Every structure is written in C-alpha cells, then in structure tokens.
Chains A and B, each alone.
Chain A
Amino acid sequence: KAGVTQTPRYLIKTRGQQVTLSCSPISGHRSVSWYQQTPGQGLQFLFEYFSETQRNKGNFPGRFSGRQFSNSRSEMNVSTLELGDSALYLCASSLDTGDYGYTFGSGTRLTVV
C-alpha cells in the first residue's frame, strides 16, 4: 500500500515568487492536512481538506492557500514568497479525522532565497 507522496522533495525559490506543492494521500483516505515545520515552532497547522472542502484553517496569511481534487490529491500554494516561508511542509492523510492517527508524507523542503 503506497504511502503519502509529496512532490517535489526539495525546492529553492526566490523571494516574491510563488510555489505549488503537491500531496497524494493514501488510497481511500479522504482527509488531507498540511503543516509547516520550522525549528523551534513545531508543526504549525495550515489547513485541512475533506472531500474537496476546506474543513479547518490555521492562522496563516492569505498568501497560503490550498485545494483538494476529486481524487483526494491536494495542492498548496504560497504566493509572494518571503524568506520566513522557508520550512518543511508536511502533508498528512487520514480516512476521515485524526482518530486513527495521521499518516504523514516525507515533506517538501522549501528554501526561499
């Protein structure tokens, strides 16, 4: 059974550019959540999608957005990149909620220069 796949694994972007990250959940999982991990801040919740609808949203600026497709694959987009957006972005999928524990992907390491 394939795990959660995130692409790309590494990304270097210039300040002011935009970026799109992709996440393919485990087959059958309908919930996809996105987290940002930075040193000392732990995992900060970005948003959660379930059946193509955003169900929860974290406290990030509007430059951070996401969507989910009918096959449950999800993308997140960051516009007008800032140096502080450099982080590991993790995607997690679950059948429905976090009852069974999320399954995380390996993440996308974004570096903004």
Chain B
Amino acid sequence: DQQVKQNSPSLSVQEGRISILNCDYTNSMFDYFLWYKKYPAEGPTFLISISSIKDKNEDGRFTVFLNKSAKHLSLHIVPSQPGDSAVYFCAARGTRYQKVTFGTGTKLQVIP
C-alpha cells in the first residue's frame, strides 16, 4: 500500500529551466510533508518541508506547493542547475510522533 506516490520515475530538464517534481498521497491524516535529495552512494539530504496549514514554502531556488484538497504536492526548482541532478524523494508524516513515509523517488537530470 503505497501511501506516497511519485508517478514519474525520471525527469529531464534543460539547465536554467524550471523543474517540477510531483507527489500524490492517499492518507488524509498526513499533515507534514518533506522533500529529500539523494546523490549516488550518499544518504538522502533534507531539502524543504511544508506543514498542512500552508500551501507554499520557499527556500532559495526551491519552492514546495501543497494542494490538500487534491492530496498533491510539488517541488519547483528555478532555475535548474546541473548539480541538481539527483533522485528526489517526497515524504509525509501524520501527527508528531508518527513515522515518515517516503515515495519511490524521481530521478532528475538537468542537462547543461
């Protein structure tokens, strides 16, 4: 039962353009969402998060949008850089002490 879904296994974007990574979830009890980035041979690193009381959160080139009614969130990277090439995982959590559930990941390739 995959409660957090990333339906695009891969995405290719030209350098300087916008990268949009999508994530859908099924559990309406999720109220905190996170994005992680993973390079080969390294563990995932925390990128950005958003609480369910917000619909947008920005951090530099990274913006996460949350649409609770659609149970959908997206990560926008503007402008995309070759160093952004990595696997991006969407994750979600219910109440404070519950486990964090991850999606299957989207491999982003930024082409110079």
Which residue numbers of A lie inside 8 Å of B, CB to CB?
A: 4, 33, 35, 40-45, 48, 55-56, 58, 90, 92, 97-107
Contact = CB atoms under 8 A, between A and B. Distances in A.
Q: By CB atoms of chain B within 10 A, which of A35, A44, A97, A107 has the most? A: A97
Nearest to B34: A101
Interface in B1-38: 2, 4, 6, 32, 34, 36
A33 B101 CA distance: 11
Contact of B96 (A4, A97, A102, A104): A97
B93 A98 contact: yes
Contact of A106 (B6, B42, B99): B42
Interface residues of B, number: 26
B4 to A, nearest CB: 8
B41 interface: yes
A97 B34 CA distance: 13
B43 A45 contact: no
A68 to B, nearest CB: 15
A35 B42 contact: no
Nearest to A101: B46
A42 B100 contact: no
Interface pairs A-B: 3 shortest CB-CB: A104-B43, A101-B46, A42-B104
A42 B46 contact: no
Given A42-B102, A98-B91, A107-B43, 19 more contacts: A33-B99, A42-B103, A45-B99, A45-B102, A48-B99, A55-B97, A56-B97, A90-B43, A92-B43, A97-B96, A98-B34, A98-B100, A99-B96, A101-B49, A103-B45, A104-B44, A106-B41, A106-B42, A106-B43
